[in-house]
Each structure stands twice: as C-alpha cells, then as structure tokens.
Structure 1
Amino acid sequence: MGQAYTVGLVIHPSRPVLDSADLIQRFVRRHGGRVLVREADAPRVGPGIEAVAADAFVDRLDALVSLGGDGTMLGAMRLVVGRATPVLGVNHGNVGFLVEVSPEGLETALHRMVAGEYTLEPHCCLHVLTDHLNCVAFNDVVVTASEPLRSLTVDLVVNGSRHGYYRGDAVIACTPTGSTAYNYAAGGPVISPSTPSIALTPVAPMSGISRSVVLGGDDAIELHNPPDGLSLRLTTDGAPVGVLGPDGGLRLRLGHDAVNVVRFDPHRYEQRKRVKLSLLDLPLRPDQLLDLVPPRLRERAAQLRTEP
C-alpha cells in the first residue's frame, strides 16, 4: 500500500468496528489515499468515509480490508476473485482461521504494508456452476435435500465418467482451506493448502460411496441429481445460494490462485492455526501443545511457579 491508493472496507454486519474504520481512514488519508465502503455499509462507519454503489466498488480498489471474522473475510475474498487486489483481514470475530491481524495490531500492520513488509498468500476457490447459478466458495459447497429430514441421492461424475453415487444426509465438496471446517467435522481429511485438490465427503452415508474422496485440482467434477430425485439445496461457505432440481448437475472446478491474502508473519500465522486446530481435537501430545504457547507466556508461567 502506498500513496494515492484506494482502500475498500468490508464490514461485519453487527460487530463494533468503528474504531478500526476510523484508524484506517486517518492512516490512508495521511498517505494521500482514500477509503471507500459500499453504500449498504455506510451507516456502520459514519459519514467520514466515502460510500459508493456496490457495482462500482471493487473496480476502484487497490486494496481491500475486512473488518470482522472469517465470514466477513470470505465475503471480501469473493468480491475480488481473479483480481490482484490484496485482502487484509482484521479479526473482529471469534475464531478467525483466515484473519491474522488483531484490532490492537492494526496500526502496525498498516505501517508494514506501506513499507512493503508483507507477503501475499494465494488462496484457491471452488467455481460452482449449475444451469441457474455461477458463484465461488473458498471453504466448501454442501448439498442437502431441500426437504427437512430427507436423504439425498446424487451421482458422482469425474471428467465425464460416472464414479458411483452418494446416498445420505449431505455431500460436502471442499478446498484444502475448507478441509478443517464441516469436512473435518464429518470425518473428512485435513488437506495441506499446498495441495491443489478437492475433497468430497459424505455425511451419514447409507449406501453408495461411504468414504471421503480426494480429487486433483484440474479434475472436472459434477454431482448429478437423478431425474427422479428430490430438489437439493446448495450452500456455499455457509450461505444458501440455490436449488438443484431433478436431472440437474452441480459442476465444480478448482480455481487456482483466486485471491491474495496479506500475511505479515507466515510462521506466526501457522502457529496460530495450529493452536486453533488443537481446539478441534487434532491429536497433539501435551509437550506439543506446550510448544504452541508463546515463549514470553511460558517464561511468565515458570516465574509464577517459582514464586512463594
């Protein structure tokens, strides 16, 4: 980020982010730039930041800042798919797997961006296509029956060839980033972000394919709803996006390097992810968990143990 840059803000719909927005506005203006928000977000940041129409927002940006949690960050990333626009996440949420910067560290992060002391971490996405839908997902696509308490049946087609069928509560298709979300909770594999791939995991399978399948990053995947099947509900990154009718096909492809996320300390970020993954019961020994504690906290704990 340098002089005359235009920075866009994507705002969490309910969490208080005004202090961070004001800090960004003051900082960017001091460096000769400007800050924009979409018109729908303008009431959340006050009158000092310029509001523009949603359809003109992304084209005017040199950088994008997400103020919220992972959901807000995913929304920001979806806005700039296929663009070089860097995305910085500031954690005003809870877990924050994707976001690296805390509100307390925001000013330091902005100075480091101006100084060029950061790297860009590319993220892949899933391109999601049906006859009536064209969207992207960074974590996962979940297919369920549109009627409550009903099971689904879908056929798996890979590169034009049928590879069996799923019958159960749901089917999850995820990226490596999304493999630690619903996919993991459903018993699917944790996949390294360095592995371009798509994982398919059935939820409560009753017949057909009963295990996770990991496919290559260049495979063309289709989940086909049989002609006599129920209508199916499609959810991307936790948000309902549409319905797949009988004899409809859900086509999935991996989008390589779809968006660039700002990272200041990749090693520290990986350590934070390991801590959060340990909360998901990944198997770590007590000594390995201790390694995740920052040195200053370990030193302080040792001091407390020796004090009378």
Structure 2
Amino acid sequence: MAGYLIGLVLHPTRDVSEVVEIIERWAARHGKSLAVRVDDQHRVPPTVEPVPAEELAARCDALISIGGDGTMLGALRSAVRHPKPVLGVHLGRLGFLVEVEPPDLPRALARLVARDFTVESHACLACDICGDDMVAFNDVALVRQPGSGFVTATLAVDGQQYGYYRCDALVVSTPTGSTAYSYAAGGPLISPATDAVVVTPSAPMSGISRSVVLSPDETIRLELRAESAPVAVEIDGMVIQEAATEGAVHVRYQRDAGLVVRLDPRRYQERNKLKLGLLDLPLLPEQLRELLPAGLREQLNRRELLPPR
C-alpha cells in the first residue's frame, strides 16, 4: 500500500530506541513512512518525519503506541477527533490495552498495513471541567489533597439531583477504566462490550457509599460543595487541576472514540483474565514474576540486564 504513513507515540521517559529501530528498519524495507510529534523528533532517526502534535492523527493512517497503558491512552486521546487504528507495543508493566511484544513487531506491522486485524472500539468520557473540554478513556477523578479534608460533591444525572459524596476520591470511569482506579476503589468490573458509566467513591465517609452504574445516554454533573477541601482533578491519571475549590465537572459518554488494533482477540482476552487474577494476589511484582513460565521469566530478566542506550 503506497503512501502509508504510520505515526509513533512514544513513552515520555523510557528508552524506546530498540523498538523504534525495529519499526524504522521494517518501514525502510517495505517503503512505508513514519512520523512522530515534533517534541519527540530527537528520540528517533532522521528518516522519521516530525509533525505537530495536533496534526499527527489526522495525517497518519495508523498510530503505534510504544510504552504501556498510559502511553496507549495518550495515543487514543490524541486521535479522538480523527480516530485511527492504534497498535500498542508493550514496554510497560502490567497492562490491559497494549498487545504486541517487540519481537513480534515485524509480523504485526505487516498485518497492520494489510489491515489484517480486528478493531476494538473504545468509548471515552467527554468532560467539561470548569469550562475546559477534555477527554478520558479510563476515568476522570476528583482526588483530595493529603491532610486537607475530603472531596465533598453533589451528583446530578440529566439535571436531577441524586445525593452527595464525602470521600477521599470520586472516580467516573468507562468500561475500560473499570479495571483501573475505579477497581482499586472497590468498583465493579464492567465488560468492555458494555456501554456504561461507573461513578465510584473511594473511602466514603458519608453520603453515597457505593458505585453507581449509569446509562451511556445520561449526562453526569459533579459539583464541589462549599465545605469541600481543595481537590486535584485527574484525567487518565494526569493532573489537570491541582487545587480546585469550586466548580463542576460535566461528563458525557462518547461511543467509538478510540480504535484499538487487536491481532488475536481471543489470546488477548485470555491474557487479561490472567492479569485480573494476578491483581487480586497480595504479592509484590518480583513475587508475581516467579509465577511466570520459565522461558518468559528469563526473557524479562535478559531485557532488564541490557545496558541503557
């Protein structure tokens, strides 16, 4: 396919050079072009075209996220106005969105360009945060600052008041995000095949004390009460506001906002079931590693022994 342009979205701090070199060599052999955000051009070979961040998704045929789930979420957010297939290459730790390991990249790239893959559609939360428009593919959270009291906010659904929260944090999540902050706060796991929004309080002191599961067609408004402590507002784990003391967050569910590439959906689902099981084990990461098959454990050990590049 002539003229195929692949955009690279890089983990902000980890060394991605090995993976980028695999992709660059493959693209050179197959006559495909690569692009990257201008801010990351110093991290890639000169053959990769620098593009303004706001134009990357619009100009590319597909995106490759190199990192973990956080990098993948950033790639999806960058493409929300121009949804393009996003392939996740794994560099992070325990992840639920990324699928491909670096050694499998050449075959995955061939299938990406040939469009030999399944698209997993993801919804997002379109958020108005005190007048600023944002999108979240996992969650939006109101989080108390340590030592400063509690998040105190009212909940309204489609304009109808339903009660209030007094808690450490208040998390609104998509089905994808139900395995993240919401899950850690005691919220339910929601199938990614379901359209729903979950509102979960973390460590509730009074008011609504359980998760609320809402229809995707309902609009949500969370408004800070006068007695609320200053709160941080997070989008997919990134701090958007550090000490909000007033204002409201409006949340609307938006279907088909992100397109995730799946090369082997059944194997991916089986892996994620295992990951969820591991999350429930009270073990440290190094203890979890001992549960892995010997071959995979040795592969991870070799990768970490490689000198930094």
CA distance in 2, matches of 1:115, 1:246: 51
1:127 paired residue number = 126
Alpha-carbon contact 1:130-1:244 (below 8 Å) kept: no
CA distance in 1, matches of 2:121, 2:163: 33
Amino acid in the other structure paired with 1:94: R
CA shift, 1:147, in A, is 6.2
CA distance in 1, matches of 2:55, 2:253: 27
Alpha-carbon contact 1:3-1:31 (below 8 Å) kept: no
CA distance in 1, matches of 2:244, 2:160: 21
1:164 paired residue number = 163
Moved more, 195-204 or 236-245: 236-245
Partner SS state of residue 101, structure 1? coil
- Assess, with a 3 A threshold, how the Cα gap between structure 1 residues 279 and 149 changes in structure 2: closer, same or farther: farther
TM-score, normalised relative to structure 2: 0.86
CA distance in 1, matches of 2:262, 2:83: 15
1:40 paired residue number = 39
CA distance in 2, matches of 1:46, 1:29: 12
2:301 paired residue number = none
The reply to whether residue 223 of structure 1 matches residue 222 of structure 2 is: yes
Once the two structures are superposed, residues 237-293 of structure 1 have per-residue CA deviations (whole angstroms, 9 ceiling, x without a partner) of 1110125745511000111010101101100000110111111128xxxxxxxxxx9
Partner SS state of residue 106, structure 1? helix
Partner SS state of residue 279, structure 1? helix
CA shift, 1:146, in A, is 4.6
Alpha-carbon contact 2:58-2:82 (below 8 Å) kept: no
Partner SS state of residue 22, structure 1? helix
CA distance in 2, matches of 1:228, 1:167: 10
CA shift, 1:11, in A, is 0.8
Alpha-carbon contact 2:223-2:249 (below 8 Å) kept: yes
Moved more, 254-263 or 30-39: 30-39
C-alpha RMSD of matched pairs (Å): 2.2
CA distance in 2, matches of 1:109, 1:242: 38
CA distance in 2, matches of 1:28, 1:47: 13
Alpha-carbon contact 2:173-2:197 (below 8 Å) kept: yes
Once the two structures are superposed, residues 114-166 of structure 1 have per-residue CA deviations (whole angstroms, 9 ceiling, x without a partner) of 33321111001111112332111111111023564411210000000000000
Alpha-carbon contact 1:129-1:250 (below 8 Å) kept: yes
Residue identity over aligned pairs, in percent, reads 47
Partner SS state of residue 83, structure 1? coil
Correspondence 1:3-14 to 2 at 5 A: 3-14=2-13
- Assess, with a 3 A threshold, how the Cα gap between structure 1 residues 146 and 132 changes in structure 2: closer, same or farther: farther
Structure whose CA Rg is larger? 1
Alpha-carbon contact 1:18-1:44 (below 8 Å) kept: yes
1:290 paired residue number = none
Between Structure 1 and Structure 2, how many residues are aligned? 286
Alpha-carbon contact 2:57-2:83 (below 8 Å) kept: no
CA distance in 1, matches of 2:270, 2:135: 28
Once the two structures are superposed, residues 194-244 of structure 1 have per-residue CA deviations (whole angstroms, 9 ceiling, x without a partner) of 111111111111110011110011110000112454433210111101257
Alpha-carbon contact 1:4-1:31 (below 8 Å) kept: no
Alpha-carbon contact 1:66-1:90 (below 8 Å) kept: yes
- Assess, with a 3 A threshold, how the Cα gap between structure 1 residues 250 and 243 changes in structure 2: closer, same or farther: farther
1:206 paired residue number = 205
CA shift, 1:26, in A, is 2.7
CA distance in 1, matches of 2:94, 2:244: 35
Correspondence 1:233-244 to 2 at 5 A: 233-242=232-241
Once the two structures are superposed, residues 76-116 of structure 1 have per-residue CA deviations (whole angstroms, 9 ceiling, x without a partner) of 11000142311010001111210010001111101222333
Moved more, 224-233 or 273-282: 224-233
TM-score, normalised relative to structure 1: 0.87
CA distance in 1, matches of 2:250, 2:29: 47
1:20 paired residue number = 19
CA distance in 1, matches of 2:133, 2:243: 13
1:300 paired residue number = none
1:68 paired residue number = 67
1:79 paired residue number = 78
CA shift, 1:17, in A, is 1.8
